[in-house]
Amino acid sequence: MKKLAIIGECMIELNGEPFGNMWQTYGGDSLNTATYLARITSQDQIEVRYISAMGTDKLSQGMLAAWQADNINTDFVLRDKHRQPGLYLIQLDKQGERTFLYWRNQSAARYLLQHPDYPKVLTALQNMDMIYLSGISLAILPETDRTLLIEQLRELKNQGVKIAFDSNYRPKLWTNLEQAQECYRALLPLVDVALVTFDDEEMLWADSNEQATISRLSDFGIPIIVVKQGKCGAIFCQNGEQQFVPTVAVDNVVDTTSAGDSFNAGFLAGFLQDKPLEVCCQQGNQLAGIVIQHKGAIIDKAATANLKAQFNA
């Protein structure tokens, strides 16, 4: 059995129109990936552990119960009696594209590394096959904690733990562009699997095209690079060899929230079972294509129930 630890933050999600009809659920890029990955894989093949901090309030408890029902191991979701989860609001346009408003500066997850039980988490990470995190996982942390986490990941990498990273660049979470670039430059040499979206790379690094992104990431020595292109599909590069993997067109796009996160889940489900990278990308495309036909970051599990047997055949 492969063990994957996913580090990040989950927040309360409000979806709808301000002063209109709103509905409440939860989401967050890393938790979205953890949820879909746990839903589409067998526990005897892949154990998904979520690493974060939550409050002791009823909403936090309800979210933990929901994650456990999705077969996510929450043993190292630390509880903070002084803080609660963050909050975000999604607004959608007619094409299903979304904009976000966030309230997260005092969220429990932001202070994960300062929690008195965090050393136990760090010890547990030594026994993982892979650790997955995103640019958001880094951006929400205080700067000193961000630097410390990268140093800890360096030590874990030296001990043989693989690192997967989705750059997931969100400008509002960083003081400026240079701060984000400096942080990413420190982490990228540690990365074994880069799962990036071209739009983010273009915004952060001014990459002219996908080939520029692949070339730049290759310079960091990353052995496996996947560049997501939204509705077009994805390009993967392994040891200098590239291949484009198209996706199937989706006519009924309702909400693109979590498209990249669910792609990552489908990809990692294959990767952790040693499937060819083309198949991993196909799985990512297929899962994302289902997710974007529903509202919210976490859709009803019935919508993807058939994938578990298919992806684990």
Q: What single-letter DSSP state applies at residue 144?
A: H
- Rg for the chain, CA atoms, rounded: 18
Q: Which amino acid is at 201?
A: E
- Compute the distance between CA of residue 162 and CA of residue 190 in angstroms, rounded to an integer: 9
**Per residue in 19-43, is it b (16+ CB within 10 Å) or e — as a string?**
eeeeeeebbbbbbbbbbbbbbbbee
Spatial CA neighbour of 30 closest among 203, 167, 146: 167
Give the three-class secondary structure for 40: helix
Q: Which amino acid is at 171?
A: P
- Compute the distance between CA of residue 203 and CA of residue 225 in angstroms, rounded to an integer: 18
- Compute the distance between CA of residue 95 and CA of residue 246 in angstroms, rounded to an integer: 21
Q: What is the DSSP string of 168-232?
A: ---GGGSSSHHHHHHHHHHHGGG-SEEEEEHHHHHHHH--SSHHHHHHHHHHTT-SEEEEE-GGG
Residues carrying an active site annotation: 261
Nearest-10 Cα torsion for 142, 145, 146, 148: 160
Tokens 């484009």 appear where?
244
147 CB burial (10 A radius; 0-12, 13-18, 19+): middle
62 Cβ contact partners less than 8 Å away, ≥ 6 residues apart: none
